[in-house]
Structure 1
Amino acid sequence: MSTPSPMSTPSPLPPPGCPAHGLGQAGPRRLYGPAAEHDPMALYEELRAEHGAVAPVLVHDDQPAWLVLGHRENLEVARTPSRFSRDPREWGAVQDGTVVPEKYALAPMVTWWPVINFNDGPAFERLRGAVLESLQRFDRRGMRRYVTRFAHQLIDAFAANGEADLVSEFSSQLPMLVMTQLIGAPEEHGPRLVRAVPDMLEGSETALESDEYVTKMLYQLVESKKASRGYDLTSWLLDHPAELTDVEVLAHVRVVLVAAYATTANLIANTLRMVLTDPRFRANLSGGRMTLPEALEQVLWDQTPINTVLGRWATADTVLGGQEIKRGDMLLLSLAAGNVDPAVRPDLTAPVHGNRSHLAFSAGPHECPGQDIGRAIADTGIEALLARLPDIELTVHDFELERRGTLMSQHLVRLPVRFAPRSVTATAPRTDPEPLPPLAPLKEAVQAATGRPQSRWSWLNRLIGRR
C-alpha cells in the first residue's frame, strides 16, 4: 500500500451514496464488521500509511467520517471544542435529514441528551463542574479500603480451587462492586449490577431486562437520597450548587457507573495479562524497578481501555492533519492509534511507564473526570491479587487469548490462570435485592427534559457508547 506524497492534495470526504463508498481501496475503509473489529490496530496502521494522521472512513450504514490517528491531531480536536463540538446535533447528516439519530445504528453515540457527553459551552461547564467536584470529594484512603475488601472477597471465592478466570471472576466484578459503594447504592445491589451492566452493554437477549433493572435501581437510589443524604456521589450531585434536576443526577450517576466499569475492567484485565505474559514486565515489577502505578501507565499507553471515541463534529470548514474537514463532518478520536503514533513513539519497545501524556482518557475539557478513581481501583485490586497469589501463572499461551470488541473497544474474553490452592474462610452467600418500583414518574421527567417520549429503557445506554 503506497503512501501519498506529502505534496499531494488530500481528497475530500465523499458524500453519502458516492460510488466510491466501501469499494476496497477506491474509497474510505469501513470501521465496522468482523474484519475491522478482528484487528483494529492493523487497520489503523494501514490507514496511517495510506492517509497520514487523519483518514477518511465509513461508520455504520456507510456514513462518512474522519478517523483521527495522530497523537498531536487527537489533542488538537479534543482541546478545541469551538472547532470540534461534542454536540451530535452539529452533524451535517442530522441537519439535512440523512440520519435520524434515534433510528441510527450508532444511536447511543449520536442522540443528544442533557449530559456532559453531548454538550459544550456553558451547559457543559455547569454539568462537568458538578460531576468533577463531586468525584473529587472522595477520600482516596477510604476508597482503597473498599477496593481491598471486595478484592479479597472475590479472591476468597476461587483461592481454594487452584485455578480461575481472572476476567469473569475478578476484573469484570471488582469495579462494579466498588462503584456500587461510591454512588451510595445498597450493598445488596452490587452482585446484580455485576451481572446486569455487562449484559446490557453486550446487547444480549436479556439486555433490555438488565437495562431496566439498572435504571430502576438508580431511580430508587435518587429518590432515597433525596430523603436522606449520605457520603456518596448521588448525594453530592443532588446538593451541588449547579442544581441538577433529578434526571440529570440519575443520568450522570449512570455515566460514571458504566464508564468506570467498562474502562477499569479493561485496565485490570490488560495489566494482569501483561504481568503474566511479559517476563520483563513482571521482573521489573517484582524487582522494584517499576511500581504498579507505573505499570498501569505503561498499559494505558499500549492497551487503551477505549480504542475509539465517537464523536466530534466540525463547527466550520477547517484543516486537520492535511485533510480538508467540512462543517458538520463527523470525527472519531482513535486513542489507541494516537498512543502508538511514530511521531511520539518512534520505538514502541522503549518504556514509557513514567509518562502520562497518553490518550487513554482522552484530553481537553471532555477528558475522563473519573480516571483517578479507575486507577485506584485497578492499582489496589491488582496489588491485593498478586500479594495473595504470588505464584499465579497463565494456563494458555498469550497468542491463544481471545479478544472481542466493537468500534469503540476490545476486551479479553478470558484470562485463565493456575496457582497453588489456598485455604480460605467461608463467606456468606450473596443475595439479590428486593424487586424495584415502577418507572412511571421517571419516564414523565425524562420526556419533560428531552421533549421525547421513551418507550423502552435503552436510552440511557446512549450515555456510554453501545447497546
Structure 2
Amino acid sequence: MNDQPDTDMAAPGTPRGCPVAHHGADVTRLYGPDAATDPVGIYERLRKEHGSVAPVLLEGDVPAWLVLGYRDNRRVLDNPRQFSRDARIWRDWAQGRIEETSPLVPMLAWRPDCVSQDGEPHRRLRGAVTDGLQAATARGIRRHATHFANKQIDAFAGAGRADLVADYAEYLPMLVLTRVLGLPQAEGRTLVESCAQVIKGGEDAIAHNERIVQILGELAERKRAEPGPDFTTALLEHAAGLDEEEVVSHLRLVLIAAHTTTSNLLARVLQLILTEPSRMSGLISGQLTISAVVEEVMWNSPPLAVLPGRFAASDLELGGHQIQEGDLLLLGLAPGNLDPEIRPDSGVSVQGNQSHLAFSSGPHECPGQNIGQAIIEVAVDVLLHRLPGLRLAVPPEELTSTASTWESRLDSLPVEFTV
C-alpha cells in the first residue's frame, strides 16, 4: 500500500481530497469478515503502514481517516473548531455520495441533538441532557440496578449454569434504562435488538433505527400528557425549551449510547474477572475494587472501539497526512489507548490512571459515564454474592468476539456455579 499521495491510483469517480484519492484504491476496509474477527490486528497493521492516522473505507466504500494515535485523538476531540461534530460539512454527504439508506446514516448523519452540534447550540442541548441525567441518578440508579440484577439472576440461579452475555449483560443495562427513561419494561427486549443492529450496521440498521425513533416518539407523547419522575419528562420540561424532535433525538442518543456501551463493558469486565484468577480473588478479598477492574477494561477493551465521527472544518495536517476540509475522521479509542508512544508496555498496570479515551474527551465527553459505572459495579457485586463458586465453563481461549466498525462484542460467557 502506497503511503504517499497518488491521485493517479484513485478509483474511477473518486473525488480529489478523499482518502482513496490520496492513498490509492487499495484502502483497508473497517467492515467485512477480517474486520469482524481481528480488528486489533487491523489497527496495528494500519499503524505500521501509515503512522498515527490512516485512510480507511466504511460500508459502501465511504472514505474516512482513522485516528490511531493517542495524542492525535486528543487533538481532534479537544478542538471542535478544527474538527467539527456537525455532519452537514461532511463533503461526501453534502455532495450526495451517501445514500439515505446507508447503514452509516444512523451513526454519522446530523441530528438535532447535542452530539451533532458545536458551540452554543451544543451547550444549550447538553445542559438539558446533563441536568436530566443528574436528576435520574438522584432517583436511585443503584437501587434500580440492584432490583433488575437480582431479577435477571433469579431466572437462571437454579440451573447451575448460564451465559452471562445473553442472560445478564445484554439486558440488564436496558432494564435500568427503561426505568430511567420512563419506558414500559416490556419494550426493553425490542430495544436491545434494535440498538445492537444500529451499531452493527448492515442492511437492517435503518429499519431498526426507525423502530427506536417510533417507540421513543410515542414515549414523549405519553409523558407530555402524563409527566413522571423520569429523564423523558425532565427533557420535556427543561428551561432550554427542546422541541419534539430534539427531545426524541436525545432519548435515542442516551438509549443507544448508554445501553450498548454499558452492556459491552459489563461483559468485558466479567470476562476479565473470570479469566484472570487474581482479579476474582482480589474482589472477593476486598483488595481490589470493581471500579479498578472497570478502569483496566476501559484501557484495554473500551466499549466503543471507534467513535464516530468528526469532520475537518478546514484543510490541515494531522499525523503527517494532509486532511482536507469536509473529510470524515473516526476516533480510534481502542488503538489510541494501546498507542505504543504512551504505553510502550501494555502489560504495565494502569490502576489509578483515568486518562483513557473510553469516554471520549473535550466538550463531547460522555455525560452519562457515572450511570454506566454504577450499573456495572452493582451488576458485578450482586452476581458475585448471589452465585457461589462462579467459574468459567469453557477454556478462556474458546471465548470469541465479533466486531463491527464501531465495537467488538463478546459472543458469549458460559459459566457454572454452585446451586
Query: How high is the TM-score relative to the length of structure 1?
Result: 0.82
Q: 325, 329, 332: which is aligned to 1:331?
A: 329
1:70 aligns with 2:86: no
* Residue equivalent to 1:416: 414
Q: How far did residue 268 of structure 1 move?
A: 0.6
* Residue equivalent to 1:281: 279
AA matched with 1:217: I
Instruction: Tell me: CA distance 1:110–1:218, structure 2 relative to 1, closer, same or farther (3 Å).
Output: closer
* Residue equivalent to 2:90: 91
Q: How far did residue 200 of structure 1 move?
A: 6.0
Q: How far did residue 92 of structure 1 move?
A: 1.9
**Residues 321-370 of structure 1: CA deviation (Å, up to 9, x unaligned):** 22221111111100000010112211111111311111111111111111
Q: SS at the partner of 2:136?
A: coil
Q: How far did residue 199 of structure 1 move?
A: 5.7
**Residues 420-461 of structure 1: CA deviation (Å, up to 9, x unaligned):** 12xxxxxxxxxxxxxxxxxxxxxxxxxxxxxxxxxxxxxxxx
Q: SS at the partner of 1:158?
A: coil
* Residue equivalent to 1:56: 55
Q: How far did residue 279 of structure 1 move?
A: 2.1
CA contact (8 A) 1:305 1:409 kept: yes
Q: Which moved more, 1:268-277 or 1:227-236?
A: 227-236
Q: Which moved more, 1:46-55 or 1:268-277?
A: 46-55
Q: SS at the partner of 1:102?
A: coil
Q: Which moved more, 1:244-253 or 1:114-123?
A: 114-123
Q: Which moved more, 1:119-128 or 1:365-374?
A: 119-128
* Residue equivalent to 2:350: 352
Q: 239, 255, 269: which is aligned to 1:257?
A: 255
Instruction: Tell me: CA distance 1:310–1:227, structure 2 relative to 1, closer, same or farther (3 Å).
Output: same
Q: How far did residue 191 of structure 1 move?
A: 4.8
Q: How far did residue 283 of structure 1 move?
A: 2.9
Q: How far did residue 163 of structure 1 move?
A: 0.3
* Residue equivalent to 2:227: 229
Instruction: Tell me: CA distance 1:235–1:92, structure 2 relative to 1, closer, same or farther (3 Å).
Output: same
Q: How high is the sequence identity, in percent, across the aligned residues?
A: 45
1:316 aligns with 2:335: no
AA matched with 2:29: R
In the alignment, the residues of structure 1 paired with residue 406 and residue 399 of structure 2 have an alpha-carbon distance, to the nearest angstrom, of 20
* Residue equivalent to 1:424: none
* Residue equivalent to 2:106: 108
CA contact (8 A) 1:88 1:118 kept: yes
In the alignment, the residues of structure 2 paired with residue 193 and residue 320 of structure 1 have an alpha-carbon distance, to the nearest angstrom, of 38
1:371 aligns with 2:369: yes
Q: How far did residue 64 of structure 1 move?
A: 2.5
AA matched with 1:68: V
CA contact (8 A) 1:15 1:64 kept: no
Paired residues for 1:67-466 under 5 Å = 67-97=66-96, 99-140=97-138, 142-194=140-192, 197-198=195-196, 214-421=212-419
AA matched with 1:85: S
AA matched with 1:157: A
Q: SS at the partner of 1:218?
A: helix
Q: How far did residue 36 of structure 1 move?
A: 2.2
AA matched with 2:112: P
CA contact (8 A) 1:185 1:221 kept: yes
Q: Which moved more, 1:183-192 or 1:58-67?
A: 183-192
Instruction: Tell me: CA distance 1:351–1:141, structure 2 relative to 1, closer, same or farther (3 Å).
Output: farther
AA matched with 2:82: R
Q: How far did residue 284 of structure 1 move?
A: 2.8
In the alignment, the residues of structure 2 paired with residue 314 and residue 203 of structure 1 have an alpha-carbon distance, to the nearest angstrom, of 24
CA contact (8 A) 1:226 1:238 kept: yes
In the alignment, the residues of structure 2 paired with residue 122 and residue 233 of structure 1 have an alpha-carbon distance, to the nearest angstrom, of 22
In the alignment, the residues of structure 1 paired with residue 203 and residue 336 of structure 2 have an alpha-carbon distance, to the nearest angstrom, of 35
**Residues 347-400 of structure 1: CA deviation (Å, up to 9, x unaligned):** 111111311111111111111111111111111111100111131111111221
Q: How far did residue 75 of structure 1 move?
A: 0.8
**Residues 257-292 of structure 1: CA deviation (Å, up to 9, x unaligned):** 121110000011000000000123223323333200
AA matched with 1:165: D
Size of the aligned set, in residue pairs, is 413
**Residues 31-55 of structure 1: CA deviation (Å, up to 9, x unaligned):** 2211122111111111111221111
Q: How far did residue 60 of structure 1 move?
A: 2.6
In the alignment, the residues of structure 2 paired with residue 189 and residue 81 of structure 1 have an alpha-carbon distance, to the nearest angstrom, of 36
In the alignment, the residues of structure 2 paired with residue 284 and residue 328 of structure 1 have an alpha-carbon distance, to the nearest angstrom, of 49
Q: How far did residue 203 of structure 1 move?
A: 6.7
In the alignment, the residues of structure 2 paired with residue 21 and residue 212 of structure 1 have an alpha-carbon distance, to the nearest angstrom, of 31
Paired residues for 1:29-40 under 5 Å = 29-40=28-39
CA contact (8 A) 1:12 1:324 kept: no
Q: How far did residue 86 of structure 1 move?
A: 0.9
Q: How far did residue 244 of structure 1 move?
A: 0.3
Instruction: Tell me: CA distance 1:192–1:61, structure 2 relative to 1, closer, same or farther (3 Å).
Output: closer
Larger Rg: 1
**Residues 44-92 of structure 1: CA deviation (Å, up to 9, x unaligned):** 1111112211112222333332110011110100111100111112122
CA contact (8 A) 1:168 1:414 kept: yes
Instruction: Tell me: CA distance 1:207–1:379, structure 2 relative to 1, closer, same or farther (3 Å).
Output: same
Instruction: Tell me: CA distance 1:25–1:50, structure 2 relative to 1, closer, same or farther (3 Å).
Output: farther
In the alignment, the residues of structure 1 paired with residue 200 and residue 139 of structure 2 have an alpha-carbon distance, to the nearest angstrom, of 33
Q: Which moved more, 1:404-413 or 1:285-294?
A: 285-294
Q: How far did residue 316 of structure 1 move?
A: 0.7
Structure 2 gap segments, 5+ residues each? none
In the alignment, the residues of structure 2 paired with residue 271 and residue 204 of structure 1 have an alpha-carbon distance, to the nearest angstrom, of 28
Structure 1 gap segments, 5+ residues each? 5-9, 422-467
AA matched with 1:95: A
CA contact (8 A) 1:12 1:323 kept: no
* Residue equivalent to 1:464: none
CA contact (8 A) 2:304 2:408 kept: yes
AA matched with 2:117: N
* Residue equivalent to 1:445: none
